[in-house]
Amino acid sequence: MNDTVIQVRDLTTGYDEEVILNNVSFDVHRGEIFIILGGSGCGKSTLLRHMVGLRQPYRGKVLIEGKDVVTAEGREREGILRKFGVLFQSSALLSSMTLAENVALPLQEYTHLPRHMIDFLVRAKLGMVGLRGYEGYLPDQLSGGMKKRAGIARAIALDPEILFFDEPSAGLDPVTSSNLDDLIIQLNASLGTTMVVVTHELPSIYAIAHRVIMLDKRTKKIIAEGRPSDLRDKSADPFVRDFFNRQVREGLYS
Amino acid sequence: MKKTKIDPGYNISVAETGPERLHLILSGNLHTENCALLLNDLKTRLSGKPPRDIELDFGGVDYLDSSAAAVIAQAKFSLQKRGAYNVKLTNIKPEIQKLFNILNLDSLLREGARIRERRPGLFTQVGTASIKFAKDTAFTCGYLGDVTLGLGHAIRHPNKIRWSDVFLYVERTGIEAIPIVLLISFLVGFIMAFQAAVQLKQFGADIFVANLVGLTVVRELGPLMTAIIVAGRSGAAFAAEIGTMKVSEEIDALESMGLNPTRFLIIPKIIATLVTLPTLTLMADMVGIFGGLVVGVLFLDLTPWGYILQTERALDFFDVFTGYFKSIVFAILISGIGCMRGLQVEGGAQGVGRFTTSAVVSGIFLIIVSDALFTLMFNYVKW
């Protein structure tokens, strides 16, 4: 089987007249934790939205296991979408449903299992993310970290091969955020799920990343690719080294 | 149910069977798509009194996801409950074993598989409803007080009113509503005149169509139809806007900045509606009368001038004034209830929908009830 799960080729995109990413190409390998990072406004979340097929690029392709997520339609598109789960920045749980109903939603739509089996699976999934006993809670009644966990439970309901995370640690305290990192690592190790994570939290990056790409706002391209520790110590680009060492250099961030 | 002809993607073969021991070999892929088939398959194969020893061999299973794992675990559990002494899952590949471990299914099964739903009893329901009623009443009183204070403040300090917002809402609730208000009131006048003409013609009282249309439109239908349209357009918009702000904590943000949400959000809307609804009502009155005039001229051979003179004779200042006065009250009711429902929103997106509906329904309800009261009242007041 091919080792590359996601191929992004010559992706150019932006909003209205403004180009945000120009000719970006990279691969994501099976089973790795792949991180897209960069400063605020460099287009990392936009890139993620392209990878999950929510936006149309100006030019270029996103292939998931060789199939174009942008042009696919109907059953083919459904098939591609089934391969991945997404955790959105705000968790995006349906606010009128309990956690159990949120997680059950994809199971009810895509399997023919009877109700009690779905309940059983839902509890297992919530148990996996450490939310056993919270089945009947509404999203409003939970803390930010718990919502993220519930979002993950919903994303993994159908055992996707790929999980996308949009800034999983945004708005979480360091302890909660590190627990979430542990969960990501655990899921990756036990299920072999490929993870694509958008973040700019350095501790997270060091904790979980197998490989990162770094986007740059000015050149609108990938300016670095590799393991985070290598980039910190060996990168030729001072901007990249600064990012990983948390140094501020005058003028560079303007 | 799926058609049975389709290849399920897995296979179960019997390696050994007897009263004491059953050995099944599973192979292929077990996943979301075929786990429902697997569930039925296992149910039929393992129905009745199970043998003492059962071995499920997963040697040929290459892929198994958590749905299938749940099916297997459930089957194992129910076999054990029905007296199978020893149920073994063997030859599981290490990745699959990891999945079984992380799902921790057996302990869940011992707890009982169903998610318990909390169904409150009658006593609790009555209690909850009463508490809710009391809270709503308190909220309404507080809200009325807030709005009164806010309006008082606005009158004393007109320069503190957010006039840019007022103008924005005048445009939204008034100017943008003109086409629909004019169309509907024209048609109402037209229809009424037409129906009246049919009746009055029998008595040769054609000219009195002008009286009927003029009085009804100016005193009742003009203000009423306009208010109902504005309740549907703007009352709903106010509730949705403020409700969405409430859900996304924007109201809290305003409050924490020391900005009074009532003064900041609600007063401009009320003032704007107070400007636009009476104005729209006067327009609706005129266009409604024009609708009657068109019928009079086209179907009753009246002259336009004659129709207008007759209308003028039928109406006095008091008639126009009552309609205008009513529309002022309607304006306060519509904007007030719209904003109030917005503030009451809870429970996310669905809550916004629910309270927006309620804004329109209670808006129209209040309009009609107060209109009835006014009709009675003016009947006694008139000199």
> So what's the ipTM on this one?
0.78
Q: What is the pLDDT of residue A248?
A: 57
Query: What average pLDDT does chain A have?
Result: 86
Q: Which amino acid is at B14?
A: V
Scanning A98-137 for CB atoms below 8 A from B yields: 100, 107, 110-114, 116-117, 119-125, 127-128, 135-136
Q: Find the CB nearest A121 among B67, B104, B114.
A: B67
State pLDDT tens for residues A223-252.
Answer: 888 888 888 888 888 888 888 887 655 444
H/E element holding B30? strand B21-30
pLDDT at A132: 86
pTM of the model: 0.75
Is the Cβ of B357 closer than 8 Å to some Cβ of chain A? no
**φ, ψ of residue B6 in degrees (nearest 5):** -65, 140
End-to-end Cα spacing for chain B: 77
For position A17, what pLDDT does the model report? 79
> How far apart are the two ends of chain A, measured CA to CA in Å?
45
Checking if the pLDDT of A69 tops 50, the result is: yes
Q: What is the pLDDT of residue B383?
A: 52
Answer whether B66 sits within 8 Å of A192, measured CB to CB: no
Q: Kindly state the average pLDDT of the residues A128-155.
A: 88
Contacts of B347 in chain A (CB under 8 A): 95-96, 138, 140
Instruction: Write the CB contacts of A49 (distance below 8 Å, at least 6 apart in sequence).
Output: A55
Q: Count interface pairs A-B at CB distance under 8 A.
A: 97
Question: What residue of A is the nearest CA neighbor of B72?
Answer: A117
Give chain B's residues under pLDDT 50.
Answer: 1-4
Encoded tokens for B134: 């009391």
Predicted pLDDT at B382: 66
For residue B123, how many C-alpha atoms fall within 13 Å in the half-sphere facing its CB? 0
Residue B114 has what pLDDT?
59
| B63 contacts on A by Cβ (under 8 Å) | none
Rounded Cα–Cα distance for residues A254 and A78 (Å): 42
B54 burial class (0-12, 13-18, 19+ CB within 10 angstroms)? buried
Query: Which of A84, A120, A125, A147 should we substitute to test contact with B (largest number of B Cβ atoms within 10 Å)?
Result: A120
Please state, for a pLDDT cut of 70, what percent of chain A lies above it: 96
CA distance B156 to B151: 9
- When pLDDT is averaged across residues A89-102 and rounded to a whole number, the result is 88
